[in-house]
């Protein structure tokens, strides 16, 4: 079974490739650095030749609204067309919990556009929507900082470790297409400001976190449902404190 991972050299792609290889699967990591570009189409047909499954974990190089939308729409159309031509039997994509609940966030709109392209195609699929990764907390804090003050929403948050994302992606990839969505979140739920506060304490960062219900998260105000999963999500096993302990080491 040949499995092609689009974005296979990134954080999730690398972890996923390792997990699939541990189970004896033939894995092709596809990325511009390996000669495969879903925007230009370079190397795409060759990479997909003989592939049964394609997993798309590629990310836009820009979080700017129009650039992200252009990336996911162009990449999605090119990839799905190439999959149809190669008779790929199953498409798996990584998306984000809340894509359909935060229209104010341009990046989330772009991911929803990608999801809609997948639904409209005739290839059996599963979309895994994950909550934010623990690994993103540094960037979230920095984007919300004004000097020594970090203003963040107190809305509920349920982040997940990238290792758990890769593990569930591997499970979904080797399972049957659901033609629907699976949600994944971390094992603990707490507020975004508390999430950041714990991170700063653990990393000996002197900045102070201030809870602000009007603080924007990449352009959007949050409530307790914005970034948390619905009923019966799959849950990761790595707790934030344990991840922090490893991070400190």
Q: What is the pLDDT of residue 111?
A: 97
For residue 184, the surrounding DSSP H or E stretch is: strand 180-185
The pTM assigned to this predicted structure is 0.94
- Phi first, then psi, for residue 117 (nearest 5°) are -65, -40
pLDDT at 248 over 80: no
Dist. CA 39–CA 98, nearest whole Å = 25
Q: Express each pLDDT in 44-60 by its tens digit.
A: 999 999 999 999 999 99
Query: DSSP 3-state assignment of 146?
Result: strand
For residue 183, the surrounding DSSP H or E stretch is: strand 180-185
Per-residue burial over 94-115, b = 16 or more CB atoms within 10 Å of its CB, e = otherwise: bbbbbbebbeebbbbbbbbbbb
Dist. CA 181–CA 184, nearest whole Å = 10
Q: Express each pLDDT in 23-40 by its tens digit.
A: 999 999 999 999 999 999
What CA–CA distances, in Å, run from 245 to 111, 182, 201, 238, 248?
32, 29, 12, 11, 5
Q: Express each pLDDT in 86-122 by its tens digit.
A: 999 999 999 999 999 988 899 999 999 999 999 999 9
- Residue range 1-12: mean pLDDT, rounded: 96
Q: What is the pLDDT of residue 119?
A: 97
Angle between helical axes of 65-85 and 106-120 (0-180°, round to 10): 20
- Phi first, then psi, for residue 94 (nearest 5°) are -100, 125
Kindly list the structural domains of the chain, giving each domain's residue range(s) and its CATH number in brackets, ordered by start.
2-248 (3.40.50.720)
- Judge whether 19 and 167 are in contact, CB under 8 Å: yes
Q: What is the end-to-end Cα distance of the chain in Å, rounded? A: 38
- Residue range 187-199: mean pLDDT, rounded: 95
Beta strands (DSSP E) in the chain are: 2-6, 26-30, 53-56, 90-96, 125-130, 145-146, 149-152, 156-157, 180-185, 190-191, 208-211, 216-217, 220-221, 234-235
What CA–CA distances, in Å, run from 111 to 34, 72, 247?
24, 7, 29
Dist. CA 7–CA 240, nearest whole Å = 26
Dist. CA 1–CA 182, nearest whole Å = 23
């Amino acid at each position: 079974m040949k499995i092609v991972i689009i974005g296979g050299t990134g954080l999730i792609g690398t972890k996923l490739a390792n997990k699939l290889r541990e189970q004896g699967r033939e894995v092709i990591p596809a990325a511009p650095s390996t000669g495969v570009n879903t925007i230009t189409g370079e190397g795409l047909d060759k990479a997909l030749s003989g592939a049964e499954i394609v997993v798309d974990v590629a990310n836009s190089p820009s979080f700017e609204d129009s650039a992200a939308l252009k990336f996911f729409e162009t990449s999605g159309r090119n990839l799905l067309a190439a999959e149809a031509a190669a008779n790929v039997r199953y498409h798996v994509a990584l998306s984000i919990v809340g894509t359909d609940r935060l229209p104010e966030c341009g990046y989330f709109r772009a991911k929803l556009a990608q999801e809609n392209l997948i639904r409209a195609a005739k290839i059996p699929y599963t979309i895994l929507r994950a909550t934010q990764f623990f690994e993103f907390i540094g960037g979230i804090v920095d984007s919300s900082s004004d000097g020594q003050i970090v203003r963040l929403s107190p809305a509920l948050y349920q982040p997940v470790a990238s290792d758990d994302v890769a593990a569930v992606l591997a499970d979904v990839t080797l399972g049957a297409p659901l033609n629907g969505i699976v949600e994944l979140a971390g094992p603990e739920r707490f507020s975004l400001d508390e999430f950041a506060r714990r991170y700063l304490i653990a990393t000996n960062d002197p900045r102070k976190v201030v809870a602000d219900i009007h603080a924007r998260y990449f352009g959007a105000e949050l409530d307790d449902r914005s970034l948390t999963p619905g009923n019966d999500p799959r849950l990761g096993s790595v707790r934030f404190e344990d991840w922090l302990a490893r991070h400190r080491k």
